[in-house]
Amino acid sequence: MSEKVVLSVAAHGDDAEFSAGGTLAKLAGDGCDVYLAIATDNDRGSFRLSNEELRDIARSEAEAAAAALGAKGVFMLGHSDGHLCDVKRTVLRGQVMRLVRQLKADVIFSWDPFAPFEDHPDHRAIAWATSDATSFSHLPLYHPEHLAQGLEPHYVTEWYWYSKADWKTNKLVDISDTMDEKLEALYSYQCQMVLTVDEFLIQARAAGVDESRLADIDPTDYRPWIDAGMRRVNGNLGAKIGATYAEAFRYECVEAPALFEDAF
């Protein structure tokens, strides 16, 4: 897949890295131009920092993660965490479509709009906006203001939708050689990684885990916990294809219509 343009469209910083960081790093290493788009400023993702503090570090953390993956750049759409559902659907669609046309993206990564039981409203919102935008970005009458700005319609040909809980997984990508890049990208989101361990402790206490087993866990020392968790998750996926580590997707691609196969 060399020399293709890859656009990851996520709701939050760390979404893409958790679900597809190894694959994005692999594509970048294969010569693809990889870009990250993040719809929100992560401004509610902490028990420790204020909204303003989170917004102040959102871009720098995202750029550090992009560098770890070998991505070419980051686009921040500037919405508030937890409020994508309040953004007019055509507005969010237009923002994603603008990026597709600007970059001439061939390959898209995002949350799956058809996945059941997705509990985060931001994930649902960006999934549908991305699906809508990439399904119609080749039609000039959708968002004609882009044409006036010199952005031509563009046809997307591949989609990697994050596959949660094995739902409709049809592609497992071997990331054995890029697992370290995935982890480094995740570590770039310090506030999100601390949040991940903080939430783990809250869940453990709510589930009745004995406090003596939790007392020595320091959420600010998050690397061992993220490392162990990701290696377990991606290791289990890798075992399905005989690899050390893998990531799972519902993959779609444009294929030549049967009509052309019959006609030529």
With a cut of 80, say whether residue 2 has pLDDT above it. no
Query: What is the band of 30 on the pLDDT scale with cuts at 50, 70, 90?
Result: very high
Hey, what amino acid is at 4?
K
Say which residues have a Cβ less than 8 Å from residue 136's Cβ, sequence separation at least 6: 97, 142
Residue whose token pair is 């006036």: 148
Residue 138 pLDDT: 98
Total domains in the fold of the chain:
1
Q: Smallest Cα–Cα separation from 154: which of 110, 103, 108?
A: 103
Cα gap 44→11, rounded to integer Å: 12
- The DSSP code for 153 is P
User: Where does the pLDDT of residue 137 fall: very low under 50, low under 70, confident under 90, or very high at 90 and above?
Assistant: very high
The pTM for the full model equals 0.94
pLDDT at 170 (0 to 100): 96
Tell me the residue range of the domain where 175 lies.
5-263
With contact defined as beta carbons under 8 Å apart, do 109 and 71 qualify? no
User: What are 40's strand-pairing partners?
Assistant: 79
Specify the pLDDT at position 261. Answer: 63
- The pair of three-digit structure tokens given for residue 24, joined into one six-digit string: 């994005």
CATH number at residue 63: 3.40.50.10320
